[in-house]
Amino acid sequence: MNLPIRPRRLRKSAEIRDLVRENSVTPQDLVQPLFVIDGSGPAEEIASMPGQRRLTISQLVAECRELYEAGIRGVALFPKLDARLKDPRGTEALSKKTLILRAVRAVKAAVPKLLLFTDIALDPYTSHGHDGVLTEDGSDVDNDATVEILCKMALLHAEAGVDFVAPSDMMDGRIGAIRAALDATGYEGTGLLAYSAKFSSAYYGPFRDAVGSASAAGTTLLNKDTYQLDPANARAAAREVALDEAEGADIVMVKPAGPYLDILRQTRTATNLPVAAYQVSGEYSQIVAAAQMGWLDRERTRDESLLAIKRAGADIILSYFAGEIARQGV
């Protein structure tokens, strides 16, 4: 064939493919989510997330030190509380001695340069499993009452030394309110990662098991449609991102990542802020489970899924694969 243009010339060797590769995922792009529990017992395996564990504070510190030495620069911390500490208003979230604050202080003391992101939402603390307090009739989450609590929660986290508070609740106006509260109390240097386009997704089930909000609610299928985004709506996601940017977010995020690559690309095009994406528990677990059955190559599928997220426009990827990638030197 007389073909002057042969694209395969750029694919004929590993060296050429490396030379012309457009996107790559490095440990510095990744944030590892970690789960913390109280006490001094053994780590708890999370059945719905094979390979992930709930760690005591001392185990968490050791893990964070290893992750930083392997090249991971940030971790996102999530507490699993004893059910006896939960109530309808999530009161434990505002305790100065609550688990997550003790964990933050311990990690910062041991690995001060590791970036800490902490979740600002009430679902690990409420007995009903929702991200905020309920209205009087219990039919919905009370937006403004929840935002008031979240502002107090964010201040406690900033005081403990987190680098970024990360509101994941999807209440209206919470980014501006939290930013104003932080700035008014001398924490203008604390960053704000906004879960801006967080969809009401079926992919969150294993996470809800991991933090215990599923057991609190009695189901992993807890309906959060009145505050999380409708999976059908791209324009609504764009509006949320624009609002969060205008209200003072430092980083905006799309969650989940893999099923919403179009939203991720849309977000990357619309803003000059750093864009994060969360490869959520369901994305992780389906890859791991299929690999355990021998249906998929774990590493190749893992790496392809992360490349897709990076290619779509993510600057930062929260992924449960982060630690293993860094330790493998990928």
Q: Which residues are catalytic?
A: 198, 255
Contact 159, 178 (CB under 8 A): no
- CA distance between the termini of the chain: 39
Strand 44-45 versus strand 53-55 pairing type? antiparallel
What CA–CA distance (Å, rounded) separates 163 from 166?
Answer: 10
Beta-bridge partners for 45: 53
Give the burial class of 66: count Cβ atoms within 10 A of its Cβ; 0-12 exposed, 13-18 middle, 19 or more buried: middle
What element of type H or E holds 240? helix 234-247
| 271: three-class secondary structure by DSSP | coil
Q: What angle do CA 110, 115, 121 make, to 5 degrees?
A: 110
Distance of CA 255 to CAs 95, 267, 295, 296, Å? Answer: 28, 12, 26, 24
What CA–CA distance (Å, rounded) separates 247 from 249?
Answer: 6
**Token output for 213:** 């909000």
Residue identified by tokens 């609550």 is: 98
Which amino acid is present at 216?
A
Beta strands in 91-190 (DSSP E): 115-120, 164-167
Residue identified by tokens 């109280």 is: 38
